[in-house]
């Protein structure tokens, strides 16, 4: 069946392709004061918290807006105004976390590794032991700008053993990669509706350790992003403070119902891993090279080197693939020409194989040579000459 007469499949890490049931959940209007809507909000918070087994330790505070609003809310609500945050960076989202921390007026230090190098627990131990004034550590679990996975559990242990507080941006990993609050010590973990839960974009949520958020009154320098206020208001009234994204909330509720019915986090991980495997094997067979080492590649989004052929440019390539029913994602690296393909969304390995075929047909249509080392291709000749 052709995809051309339908919406294209989004191979992007949010917004992503949602199921029909999730889309149709948005066909109703809800009053934000109505008890039936408040019950949906309560169920969503409960189901989200269950995914990290956080019921005994953490509260789920939903927040209007894209994921960054929740990251900013978490930093601004948790970190005291004289706090000092060490942000661990190996990509654009780490840089964004550092930038917003500074803009919220908190003292900032950074530890940066290359885009393809995970931060290690030893790096963090060294940085914390060298500076006793650091109160908080900010970590991006899966850095979506490449797809690299940082070792959350090991880093969390180091931060906890030194008595500091950990804030985790788990936006693109939550729901797909196992995160158990009973085993991994963190004070805040942030994710959003339009990623691995497979809802529409429009709300974020922060899991905050209950004993921590209880101490956070009056810290925020922002009215709208004050998680403490949002939390206490919601506990008191069952309602969102300020207009809720009603359609998004009910769609997330529907998405969570499907998530649970399909087997929860373990099943989601398996499907994404199968998507990632189908993508990488098909693309490498065609001659593409994956940017990251397989050991640090999360099955969320894959960064691929652009074809070396000078005829290649991302925009025409994107347009050709789009004509065939798939939306790719541009690269986010400054040093090397890359593009990205998301493995997440309401799709399976069959769609990934179709996507690989769409890429193959697009390259052919554009006359782009992948330079696979077969006799007669220009690349093979050039390599032979160079040798
Ligand atoms: C998607 C994402 C965010 C949030 O980005 P928004 O554009 O605000 O939704 C933050 N961090 C990571 C790692 C992400 O993947």
pLDDT one-digit tens code per residue, 134-154: 999 999 999 999 999 999 999
Checking if the pLDDT of 171 tops 70, the result is yes
Query: How far, in Å, is the centroid of ligand 1 from the Cα of 105?
Result: 21
In ligand 1, which atom is closest to the CA atom of 172?
A: 15
Question: Using one digit for the tens of pLDDT, what is the confidence trace for 3-48?
Answer: 445 899 999 998 999 999 999 999 999 999 899 999 999 999 999 9
| CB-ligand 1 contact for 92 (6 Å cutoff) | no
| CB-ligand 1 contact for 68 (6 Å cutoff) | yes
Q: What is the dihedral of CA 327, 193, 280, 19, to 10 degrees?
A: -70
C-alpha dihedral sign at 54, 58, 64, 70: negative
The pTM (predicted TM-score) of the whole model is 0.94
| CB-ligand 1 contact for 66 (6 Å cutoff) | yes
Checking if the pLDDT of 309 tops 70, the result is yes
Strand ranges inside the chain, DSSP E: 9-10, 58-64, 84-89, 107-112, 136-140, 142-143, 148-149, 165-169, 188-192, 203-209, 301-305, 326-327, 329-330, 338-342
Distance of CA 44 to the CA centre of its chain: 19
Confidence of residue 374 (pLDDT cuts 50, 70, 90): very low
Checking if the pLDDT of 386 tops 90, the result is no
Checking if the pLDDT of 170 tops 50, the result is yes
> Which of 66, 149, 176 to mutate for ligand 1's pocket (most ligand atoms within 8 Å of CB)?
66
For residue 57, the 8-state DSSP code is T
In ligand 1, which atom is closest to the CA atom of 14?
A: 1
| CB-ligand 1 contact for 144 (6 Å cutoff) | yes
């Amino acid at each position: 069946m052709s995809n051309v007469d339908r919406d294209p499949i989004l191979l992007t890490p949010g917004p992503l392709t949602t199921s029909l049931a999730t889309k149709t959940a948005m066909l109703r209007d809800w009053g934000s004061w109505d008890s039936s809507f408040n019950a949906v909000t309560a169920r969503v918070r409960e189901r989200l918290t269950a995914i990290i087994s956080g019921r005994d330790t953490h509260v789920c505070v939903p927040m209007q807006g894209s994921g960054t609003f929740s990251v900013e809310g978490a930093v601004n609500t948790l970190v005291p105004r004289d706090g000092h945050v060490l942000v661990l960076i190996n990509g654009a989202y780490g840089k964004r976390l550092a930038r917003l921390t500074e803009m919220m007026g908190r003292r900032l230090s950074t530890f940066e590794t290359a885009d393809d190098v995970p931060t290690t627990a030893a790096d963090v131990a060294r940085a914390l032991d060298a500076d006793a004034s650091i109160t908080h550590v900010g970590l991006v679990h899966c850095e979506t700008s490449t797809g690299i996975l940082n070792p959350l559990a090991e880093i969390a242990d180091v931060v906890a053993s030194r008595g500091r507080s950990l804030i985790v941006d788990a936006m693109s990993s939550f729901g797909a990669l196992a995160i158990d609050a009973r085993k991994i010590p963190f004070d805040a973990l942030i994710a959003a509706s339009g990623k691995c839960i497979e809802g529409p974009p429009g709300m974020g949520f922060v899991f905050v350790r209950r004993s921590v958020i209880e101490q956070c009154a009056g810290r925020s320098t922002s009215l709208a992003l004050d998680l403490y206020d949002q939390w206490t208001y919601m506990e008191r009234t069952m309602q969102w403070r300020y207009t809720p994204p009603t359609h998004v909330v009910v769609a997330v509720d529907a998405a969570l119902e499907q998530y649970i019915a399909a087997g929860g986090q373990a099943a989601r991980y398996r499907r994404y891993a199968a998507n990632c495997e189908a993508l990488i094997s098909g693309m490498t067979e065609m001659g593409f090279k994956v940017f990251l080492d397989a050991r640090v590649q999360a099955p969320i989004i894959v960064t691929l080197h652009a074809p070396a052929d000078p005829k290649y440019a991302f925009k025409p390539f994107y347009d050709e693939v789009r004509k065939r029913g798939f939306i790719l994602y541009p690269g986010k690296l400054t040093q090397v020409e890359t593009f990205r393909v998301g493995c997440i969304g309401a799709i399976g390995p069959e769609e990934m194989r179709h996507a690989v075929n769409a890429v193959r047909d697009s390259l052919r249509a554009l006359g782009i040579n992948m330079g696979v080392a077969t006799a007669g291709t220009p690349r093979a000749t050039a390599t032979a000459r160079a040798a």
